[in-house]
């Protein structure tokens, strides 16, 4: 039996190409026409891959045609830079994909859910049999192992998630936190919604235009605060998000310092995502105040990404061990199926290196 993977990803193709192949992809034609015994289609915004098991070699062109019926044989090379992995390389590739090592954002965990859904869909329509079942189940195990034994998923890597993660590192449960969002533009709205989605129940909105503040507050079941009164809110809030278009700082150290005396045992987390900044940088020097602007959030996201990159080597080592184990399992024969002409063993001789 020949295991193979043919696909496109963000490494080899642009978004337009991925959309073209991923949009209406289906693999039933592979199972129907090309001698493929099993097939799983993994289509995400960053990759379109077909994992298959076949008695005889299924060409890359056959797979490509299945993904996009408009492809003519001669234009494939120019049309899309497909890659192809076979047998051990295919196993390694799927393990790397499931672990997030091959993802655009290293260590992202969404891909594992997508792989699980792809496998479930294939199982439901009869595309995944015992070969791909073993392969995908092992891939999910490897992903779990890597996630548990490395820091590859640690740390947020986007500005928004860094801010929310930091809030959780300061306050723990965000359910009891009070947040004030200063500004009612698109960024403010996104941040306010992110806070609500992470459990903040008391979100207040303040904006120069009271109408826009009201609208945003209503849409997130928050509370609108008159712009003249927003500074007083600093006595009781835990999180302040500033995103106004003000050209001068709206909050200085001298304004905040007297208020902090009343709330000395409660930290204040300030997320200043405005450009130019809305909060004077000196505010960060105050005890219990943690001020983050867009640059510092970006820097932490980069640090986290660098940390994840460092973990790739550890993850690759774990993957290599599992690939070797899986190869051994294949060599011994999956499920100890009786050797008959109809059910040939998945042995070393049958899992041959196929021609590219």
Partner 1 sequence: MDRYLLFVSTACFLVAIGHTVLELRGKVFRPMRFNFAAVGLGFIFQTAFLYVRGHAVGRCPITNLFEVIIFVAWSVALFYMVVGPTYRLSLMGAFTAPLVVVLQLVALLAPIDHPHPVKVHANSWLEFHASISLVAYGAFALACIAGVMYLVQERQLKTHQIHSIFYHLPPLTVLFAAITRLLWWGFALYTVGLFSGFFVGEPLPWIQIICAVAVWVLYGLILQGRYLHWFAPKRVAALCVVGFSAALTLLWGITFTVQTHTR
Which residues are catalytically annotated?
45
Residue number, 135 or 268, with CB nearest to partner 1: 268
Query: Which residue, 87, 132, 133, 85, is CA-closest to 348?
Result: 87
Residue selected from 84, 154, 193, 212 as contacting partner 1 according to rule CB under 8 A: 154
**H-helix or E-strand containing 181?**
strand 178-182
* Signed CA dihedral, 197, 158, 184, 239: sign only: positive
In this chain, which stretch among 68-76, 216-224, 226-234, 291-299 interacts with partner 1, using CB under 8 A?
291-299
The answer to the question of residue 170 lying near partner 1 (CB under 8 A) is yes
Residue selected from 149, 235, 309, 332 as contacting partner 1 according to rule CB under 8 A: 149
**H-helix or E-strand containing 239?**
strand 239-242
The answer to the question of residue 258 lying near partner 1 (CB under 8 A) is no
The answer to the question of residue 236 lying near partner 1 (CB under 8 A) is no
The answer to the question of residue 353 lying near partner 1 (CB under 8 A) is no
Residue number, 102 or 165, with CB nearest to partner 1: 165
Distances (CA, A) of 188 to 28, 202, 320: 46, 15, 45
Residue number, 84 or 178, with CB nearest to partner 1: 178
How many other CB atoms are there within 10 angstroms of residue 3's CB atom?
25
The answer to the question of residue 304 lying near partner 1 (CB under 8 A) is yes
Residue number, 17 or 284, with CB nearest to partner 1: 284
Q: Do residues 273 and 298 lie in contact, with contact meaning Cβ atoms separated by under 8 Å?
A: no
Buried/exposed 264-286: b ≥16 CB within 10 Å, e otherwise: eeeebbbbbbbeebbbbeebbee
The answer to the question of residue 227 lying near partner 1 (CB under 8 A) is no
The answer to the question of residue 273 lying near partner 1 (CB under 8 A) is no
Q: Do residues 227 and 254 lie in contact, with contact meaning Cβ atoms separated by under 8 Å?
A: no
The answer to the question of residue 221 lying near partner 1 (CB under 8 A) is no
Establish whether the linkage from the previous residue to 243 is cis, with ω within 30° of 0.
no
Residue selected from 72, 124, 248, 264 as contacting partner 1 according to rule CB under 8 A: 264
The answer to the question of residue 148 lying near partner 1 (CB under 8 A) is yes
Q: What's CA 72's distance to the chain center, in Å?
A: 34
In this chain, which stretch among 201-209, 227-235, 297-305, 336-344 interacts with partner 1, using CB under 8 A?
297-305
Residue positions counted in the chain? 356
Least CB distance to partner 1 at residue 106 (A): 14
Phi and psi torsions of 224, nearest 5°: -90, 140
Residue numbers at the binding site for partner 1 (CB under 8 A): 148-151, 154-155, 166, 168-172, 261, 264-265, 267, 284, 287-288, 290, 292, 296, 299-300, 303-304, 307, 310-311, 314
């Amino acid at each position: 039996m020949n295991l193979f993977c043919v696909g496109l990803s963000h490494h080899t193709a642009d978004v337009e190409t991925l959309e073209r192949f991923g949009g209406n992809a289906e693999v039933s034609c592979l199972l129907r026409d090309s001698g493929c015994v099993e097939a799983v289609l993994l289509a995400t915004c960053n990759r379109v891959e077909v994992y298959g098991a076949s008695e005889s070699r299924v060409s890359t062109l056959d797979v490509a045609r299945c993904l996009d019926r408009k492809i003519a044989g001669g234009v494939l090379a120019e049309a899309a830079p497909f890659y192809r992995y076979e047998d051990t390389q295919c196993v390694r590739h799927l393990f790397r994909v499931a672990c997030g090592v091959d993802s655009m954002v290293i260590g992202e965990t969404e891909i594992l859910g997508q792989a699980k859904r792809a496998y479930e869909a294939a199982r439901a329509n009869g595309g995944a049999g015992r070969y791909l079942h073993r392969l995908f189940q092992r891939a999910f195990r490897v992903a779990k192992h890597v996630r548990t034994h490395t820091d590859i998923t640690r740390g947020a890597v986007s500005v928004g998630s860094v801010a929310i993660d930091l809030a959780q590192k300061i306050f723990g449960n965000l359910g009891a936190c009070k947040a004030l969002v200063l500004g009612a533009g698109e960024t403010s709205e996104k941040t306010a919604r992110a806070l609500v989605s992470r459990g903040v129940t008391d979100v207040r909105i303040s904006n120069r235009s009271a109408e826009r503040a009201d609208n945003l507050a209503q849409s997130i079941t928050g509370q609108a605060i008159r712009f003249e009164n927003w500074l007083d809110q600093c006595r009781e809030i835990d999180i302040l998000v500033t995103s106004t278009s003000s050209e001068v700082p709206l909050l200085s150290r001298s304004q905040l310092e007297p208020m902090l005396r009343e709330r000395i045992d409660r930290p204040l987390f300030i997320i200043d995502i405005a450009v130019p900044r809305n909060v004077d940088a000196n505010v960060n020097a105050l005890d219990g105040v943690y001020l983050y602007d867009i640059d510092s959030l970006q820097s932490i996201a980069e640090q986290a990404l660098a940390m994840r990159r460092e973990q790739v080597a550890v993850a690759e080592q774990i993957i290599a061990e599992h690939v070797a184990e899986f190869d051994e399992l294949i060599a011994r024969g999956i499920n100890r199926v009786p050797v008959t002409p109809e059910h040939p063993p998945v042995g070393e001789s049958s899992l041959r290196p196929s021609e590219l």
